[in-house]
Amino acid sequence: MSNTRQINFTLNGTPVSAEVGTHLSLVELLREKFDLFGARESCAQGLCGCCTVLLDGQAVSGCLYLAALADGAKIDTVEGLGTRDTLDPVQEAFIEAGAFQCGFCTPGFVLMTKQLLDENPNPSEDDIRHYLSGNLCRCGAYPEIIAAVKAASAKRKAAG
Amino acid sequence: MAVKEIQSGQVGRSLPRLESAAKVTGHADYVHNLRLPGMLHVKVFRSSIPHGRIRRLDVSAAKQLAGVHSVITSDDIRTIIPEPYFGPAFHDQPILAIDKVRHIGEPVAVVLASDPHVAEEGVALIQAEYDELPGVYDEVAGATATTYVHDTLKPAGTFPDLKHLQGKSNTNIALDYQLRRGDVEAAFAKADHVFEHTFRTQQVMHVPLEPMVSAAELTATGLTIYTASQSPSFVRIEIARLLGWPENKVRVKVPHLGGGFGAKLYVKLEALVAALALLTRRPVKLSLRMDEQFFTISKHASTFKIKSGVTKDGKIVARRCDVWWNGGAYADIGPRVTQKSGFTAAGPYDIENVHLDSFAVYTTRPPAGALRGFGIPQLVWAYESHTDLIARALDIDPVEIRRKNILREGRPQATGTKMKDAAIEQVLERLAARMNWDRSFDRGAGTIRRGRGIGIGFKAVIAPTTSVAIVNVYADGSCSLYCSTVDMGQGSDTIMAQIVAEVLNLPAETVNVVHPDTDVTPYDMATLGSRSTFHMGNAVRIAAEDAKAKLAALAKEVGLPAGANVPISEIFKKKYGMQAGNVIGSGSFIPSYKSPDHETGMTDNATPFWMIGGTGAEVEIDTDTGDIKILRIVNVADCGTPINPRIVDTQLSGGAIMQLGFTLTEEMQFDNGQLRNPTLADYKIPGMRDMPTVMENEAVAARQHDGPFGAKGVGESATFGLSPAIANAIHDAVGVRLTELPLTPERLYRALAAANGKPLKD
Amino acid sequence: MTPFELAEPRSISEALALLDPNDPSIRAMGGGTALMLMMKPGFFKPKRLVSLRKIAELAAFRVGSDGALRIGAMTRLSALERSAEVAKAFPVIASTLRTLSNRRVRNVATIGGHIAHADPHTDLPPVLIALDATIEIAGPGGQRKIPAEALATGYLETTLKGNELITAVTVPAAGRKRAIYVKCTTRSADDWPALGIAVALDADGRNVKQARVVVSAATEKPVRLSGVEAILQGGAMTDASLREATRAAASEADITTDMQGSAAYKRHLLEVHLNRAINGLLNGGARRGA
């Protein structure tokens, strides 16, 4: 049994492949082999959300996920969500609400918010706090983030 | 949002941060992301004991591990830097431990490899043996202990008033600041009442989510250091000093920081990566894990013994402050924290007789340095808790007793400096108004009780410090701003652009802010202590006005009528015949300052501006469990006239949320010098569900007359009064006083049980 | 971390063959979150990980027509959390999941991995014990079933041999039972519990026919307080008998001091929260999850 693996997966809509050591984490794979820096390793314990990526549509902590197990999966990162020219409504809402300061945790919050609204288009404030309780912001932008989630919900509703 | 916005011009606009799109799309640049061709990753072998001599260090197995490029110890460092000690106040910190380790987690050796996993494996193969020495952990005990952390003191040349400490031995006191005003003993003797209390705070860590990271590479002309640093100019100067090179051979580049809060200041990893780049001749990068941050820098734990003489009407006539700062194993900027905070340790009160002793104490804990507030939150914790206790004892309303005593415009504070542009009274009144202080408050009657409290503090911004800025206007009329202020999330890029834009009549969004690069951006003391808006803001304004004046002169030179509204591109075209050329404006700013007298601590010019921050808190207590729920936090500050009201609003709430963590849930917990909780699993910072139910922020209508467009700093203001406001509210709710941070449910429950005559039995 | 063998068998028998009862560096992997937390700081260096993610039969869960819940070991916690059926049949499971770690962990962690890890701070084991759940285990010798409370034998230790696998968790129909899980955190809200209390009562008014009281987090493993259960089951519940029961709880459980609180404080919390939990259940089942 080898300790490297050839994996094939879809990354932001594009089929890709990579050769990975079994010990490599998903966030390491995305950063080192695919130059995607939106997901970052911070707490290294899955508690802060900075390494959030979507795997088969579900938010996961990239720092606790073995890259080898991404074989066959659909991976979406913040880079696939919107570009500087065409922002996703969640991203627009974050900018309008001023819902970040240093920005290090922001991609994680953006992806979790998108997931939340996909599942629950009209979340209460309590729903929002619970869903995002596993995303930390040391700059303390939580009040603005809650406002951004509410605004994003309205934007998505308006867009139909 | 209660921070008022004005409609016209660029200053006063709540402009979204310039880098907004980059941040929400994951494209903002951090050193965390940096990759250099041929780069070696650095992993650190750290001391497993708090204090001891290194008897044996065996790196042979690590060196032999396949994939390891090299293993470096202090012996290797000394082949290129014979005296490898650094620090902003003392040159006491070795790049890698030499002969001795002084705190748990001190770096002893490093392993370099292309693959960081291999480097980590190499670290696990290093073996060290120590002859353990007794530990010194408490700041008060440490001041008189006979176990010495350092054999001799090594003040750097940076502080003229530390010279007398050179070569001093047999002490753990790195600095003793004193202030003597009037005669406290006589005043105590005459006072109607004398109150004395002791308050303590715990060691905590900044926890920026981008852990500290630095990289270095040799270039054709010198050395380039890429570092997540709040002080690129300092890094350049310090690394040049260590290498014996001229400043212009060391280049320091800083993109965005993923948080700083004071952790990423002076030299942290930069000296090490610089030495490693020279030794290996390869680019090197050291990216700390989250847990390693706790062994690198932290906030001073403190003990503050405060004694006040008070008339029966509640006028404070004398105050004696004895403050011990737990500086950890290396001084870092602790001596400055000790000294500068001493200016305001007696509080924002008009007190004739003040006696202060403030000690920076070495202990065998991880080093303490600058953390948002720079010592002020620890002091306010003590003096605002103390003031509340005095009010209760004399049955005087807490707001009323403050009205009786606060410093008013023109009055001299403890150092003798007269208060100017310090809206203490206004902050107090706005706080009282927002808290509906005059209305009755329902404290509840059953198991659940409610209470309210306030706290107000102030800070003297650091001086003297130098800021230089350059504005470069291009041939098409667009422009760039070069300044070494570091945007770590506080929005400095944006507000500096707003200042330039206001002067040059441009939309702020169009100003290109060049990030710190010491080959390009001029000197700035550092981004710390809420100084940038005022100090660098003034320099930026001067630079923009210089550019504007030069453009006017150029227009005149090329024969354009004065006052004509000619596009800038026209001026360049007339001068150079095509789209070519630059107009460069520069500005430097250093405020006036007078150093305090060494014996008395007095000076009539202690600071260019005062920061005022007040907090009101409403809490709900479950008296059966001690659970504390924060119902409401009101943050009121004097930050002059905001340049960007929205950013000011978020600096207030962000500072308050951070201080909530330090007040309720954060503590570095030690067991015989071993740190038990260096990870976020057990070091709990505030999350979404820890927010107060309601939080309000207000910047009072005020103006700093000599600040850029009336502005001054705000980054720390909301941290001052929060801790005592909560303790005061708890006392209001349930009648018990907690004097140590953090305020945990267990501590509160034990205090309640003891007060009820049924102490919890262990 | 360093490289290791990674196997992804497609059947239970294939998985069992890859495990070794004598080699603790060979382990089965559910979602892997708990394992990664041990591997990254170097506490666990695997020779081989056997991922169970490709064994389809382990991932299903359903509430039967009899009201019993059968959960395949590889069921992701968030799948359970999102199930309206589970929420209806066992509201305490849904409310417990809501504050179990965070959503990202729940999207990956599996029920089998969660309980096999045997960390006393985890939230589901005391709830499963209170609900009289059964754990199904496959091994080279065949299948066996044990009550949920028999799984954990100590801190991070279970009765599982190195070549056994949890295959399913079954929870009998709730019937008249009302249950609650109290997660006491003493630091920030998003935290390991300092104390976990799971209570399930089958009561007719204030007459408790059957009680299950389980304490976790402050103990080495989740523990049923049978002495307390006996008091609760002994006739119509009065304020006095409830006080007696909760006082007995504080002394029956073997509670430890740690960074989240002293044993004395946690014993006090146990008394207070157990009292509130039982009163809540008897007065109409407020099903607090946090």
Q: Span B69-75, mean pLDDT?
A: 98
Distance between CA atoms of residues A16 and A10, nearest Å? 6
For helices B376-393 and B398-405, the axis angle rounded to 10 degrees is 110
Considering the domain architecture, whether residues C98 and C5 belong to the same structural domain is answered as yes
pLDDT tens readout for residues B100-117: 999 999 999 999 999 999
Considering the domain architecture, whether residues B530 and B678 belong to the same structural domain is answered as no
- Residue-level pLDDT at C287: 43
| Strand segments (E) across chain C | 5-7, 26-29, 48-51, 61-63, 69-72, 134-139, 142-147, 152-154, 157-158, 165-171, 178-184, 195-204, 207-216, 223-224
Residues with Cβ within 8 Å of residue B50, at least 6 apart in sequence: B101, B102, B103, B104, B135, B137, B364, B365, B672, B673, B674
Sheet containing B301-310: give its strands across: B173-181, B353-361, B316-326, B301-310, B193-201
Q: Is residue C51 part of a domain?
A: yes
Considering the domain architecture, whether residues B470 and B547 belong to the same structural domain is answered as yes
User: Residue B593: pLDDT band by 50, 70, 90 thresholds?
Assistant: very high
Question: Which of C192, C265, C269 is most worth mutating to test chain B (most B CB atoms within 10 A of its CB)?
Answer: C265
- Residue-level pLDDT at A85: 85
Q: Span B729-740, mean pLDDT?
A: 98
Percent of chain A with pLDDT strictly greater than 90: 94
First-to-last CA distance in chain C?
35
Q: Which of B565, B589, B613 is the last residue of a domain?
A: B589
Say yes or no: domain A89-158 is CATH 1.10.150.120. Answer: yes
Contact assignment for C262 to B762 by CB distance below 8 Å: yes
Q: Which of B540, B563, B589 is the last residue of a domain?
A: B589
Distance between CA atoms of residues C9 and C3, nearest Å? 19
Q: Quote the tokens at residue C65.
A: 């027509």
The DSSP symbol for B406 reads B
For residue B432, give the 3-state DSSP assignment.
helix
Q: Is the pLDDT of residue B557 over 90?
A: yes
Q: Is the pLDDT of residue B631 over 80?
A: yes
Q: Span B79-85, mean pLDDT?
A: 97
Distance between CA atoms of residues C127 and C121, nearest Å? 12
Q: Report the domain count for chain B.
A: 3
Contact status, residue B427 vs residue B714, Cβ threshold 8 Å = no
Q: Is residue C86 part of a domain?
A: yes
Residue B134 CB coordination number (10 Å): 12
Nearest C-alpha in B relative to A126: B689
Cα C99 to the center of its chain, rounded Å: 13
Considering the domain architecture, whether residues B61 and B124 belong to the same structural domain is answered as yes
Q: Which of C174, C193, C223 is the last residue of a domain?
A: C174
Please give the residue range of the domain that contains residue B440: 383-460+601-755
Query: Phi and psi (nearest 5°) for C58?
Result: -85, -10
Contact assignment for C3 to A4 by CB distance below 8 Å: yes
Distance between CA atoms of residues B501 and C91, nearest Å? 58
Q: Is residue C138 part of a domain?
A: yes
Q: Is the pLDDT of residue C288 over 50?
A: no
Q: Spell out which residues of chain A touch residue C99, defining contact as CB-CB under 8 Å.
A: 130, 133
Considering the domain architecture, whether residues B538 and B620 belong to the same structural domain is answered as no
pLDDT tens readout for residues B436-474: 999 999 999 999 999 999 999 999 999 989 999 999 999
Q: Span B526-541, mean pLDDT?
A: 98
Q: Quote the tokens at residue B38.
A: 């041929």
Distance between CA atoms of residues B190 and B183, nearest Å? 11
Residues with Cβ within 8 Å of residue B516, at least 6 apart in sequence: B232, B252, B253, B254, B483, B484, B485, B486, B524
Task: Let me know if B716 is a catalytic residue.
Answer: yes
Q: Is residue B220 part of a domain?
A: yes
Q: Is residue B5 part of a domain?
A: no
- Residue-level pLDDT at B3: 61
Residue A56 CB coordination number (10 Å): 14
Judged on CB neighbours under 10 Å (0-12, 13-18, 19+), C44 is middle
Average pLDDT over all residues of chain B: 96
Q: Is residue C287 part of a domain?
A: no
Pairing mode of beta strands B353-361, C69-72: unpaired
- Residue-level pLDDT at B82: 97
Contact status, residue B480 vs residue B514, Cβ threshold 8 Å = yes
Please give the residue range of the domain that contains residue C57: 1-174
Distance between CA atoms of residues B2 and A139, nearest Å? 20
DSSP string spanning B338-349? Answer: HHHHHTTTT-SB
CB contact A136 to B (< 8 Å): yes
Distance between CA atoms of residues C79 and B701, nearest Å? 53
- Residue-level pLDDT at C286: 46
Query: Phi and psi (nearest 5°) for C160?
Result: -65, 135
Q: Which of C174, C189, C220 is the last residue of a domain?
A: C174
Considering the domain architecture, whether residues C63 and C162 belong to the same structural domain is answered as yes
Of B618-622, B656-660, B697-701, C284-288, give the lowest mean pLDDT range: C284-288
Q: Find the Cα–Cα–Cα–Cα dihedral B346, B347, B353, B354, rounded to 10°.
A: 10
Q: Report the domain count for chain C.
A: 2
Distance between CA atoms of residues B526 and B252, nearest Å? 13
pLDDT tens readout for residues B125-172: 999 999 999 999 999 999 999 999 999 999 888 766 677 778 889 999
CB contact C43 to B (< 8 Å): no
Contact status, residue B524 vs residue B484, Cβ threshold 8 Å = yes
pLDDT tens readout for residues B277-327: 999 999 999 999 999 999 999 999 999 999 999 999 999 999 999 999 999
Q: Range(s) for CATH 3.10.20.30 in chain A?
A: 4-80
pLDDT tens readout for residues A114-138: 999 999 999 999 999 999 999 999 9
Query: Phi and psi (nearest 5°) for B322?
Result: -120, 115
Q: Quote the tokens at residue B109.
A: 């050796």
Catalytically annotated residue among B129, B545, B716, B740: B716
User: What CATH number matches the domain at A4-80, 3.10.20.30, 3.20.20.70, 3.40.980.20, 3.50.50.60?
Assistant: 3.10.20.30
Cα B593 to the center of its chain, rounded Å: 21
Question: Which of C4, C186, C187 is most worth mutating to test chain B (most B CB atoms within 10 A of its CB)?
Answer: C187
Helical segments of B208-288, H only: 232-243, 270-280
Q: Quote the tokens at residue C265.
A: 């404080």
Q: Range(s) for CATH 1.10.150.120 in chain A?
A: 89-158
Q: Is the pLDDT of residue A27 over 60?
A: yes
Q: Span C124-142, mean pLDDT?
A: 97
Considering the domain architecture, whether residues B728 and B618 belong to the same structural domain is answered as yes
The DSSP symbol for B683 reads S
Considering the domain architecture, whether residues B577 and B680 belong to the same structural domain is answered as no
Three-state DSSP string of B470-533: EEEEECCCCEEEECCCCCCCCCHHHHHHHHHHHHHCCCHHHCEEECCECCCCCCECCCCCCCCC
Helical segments of B368-488, H only: 376-393, 398-405, 424-434
The DSSP symbol for C47 reads S
Judged on CB neighbours under 10 Å (0-12, 13-18, 19+), B79 is exposed
Which chain A residues have any C-beta within 8 angstroms of a chain C C-beta? Answer: 1-5, 21-23, 25, 44-47, 49, 52, 55, 58-61, 63-66, 68-69, 112, 115, 119, 130-131, 133-135
Of C1, C41, C265, the CB nearest to B760: C265
Of B151-160, B490-499, B570-579, give the lowest mean pLDDT range: B151-160
Q: Which of C174, C201, C235 is the last residue of a domain?
A: C174
CB contact C44 to A (< 8 Å): no
Task: Name the residue among A29, A36, A44 with its Cα closest to residue A12.
Answer: A36
| Strand segments (E) across chain A | 4-11, 14-21, 52-55, 58-61, 74-76
Handedness of CA B383, B387, B392, B393 (dihedral sign): positive
Q: Is the pLDDT of residue C254 over 60?
A: yes
Contact status, residue B464 vs residue B591, Cβ threshold 8 Å = yes
H or E element in which residue B593 lies: none
Distance between CA atoms of residues C58 and C110, nearest Å? 10
Report the CATH number at residue B716.
Answer: 3.30.365.10
Considering the domain architecture, whether residues C167 and C38 belong to the same structural domain is answered as yes
Question: Which of B19, B25, B212 is most worth mutating to test chain A (most A CB atoms within 10 A of its CB)?
Answer: B25
Contact status, residue B623 vs residue B449, Cβ threshold 8 Å = yes
Handedness of CA B139, B141, B143, B149 (dihedral sign): negative
Q: Quote the tokens at residue B745.
A: 């449910």
- Residue-level pLDDT at A1: 67
Q: Is residue C120 part of a domain?
A: yes
Q: Span B371-377, mean pLDDT?
A: 97
Report the CATH number at residue B270.
Answer: 3.90.1170.50
- Residue-level pLDDT at A62: 98
- Give CA separation, A38 vs A35, A115, B24, in Å: 9, 16, 9
Q: Is the pLDDT of residue B498 over 50?
A: yes
Distance between CA atoms of residues B720 and B736, nearest Å? 22
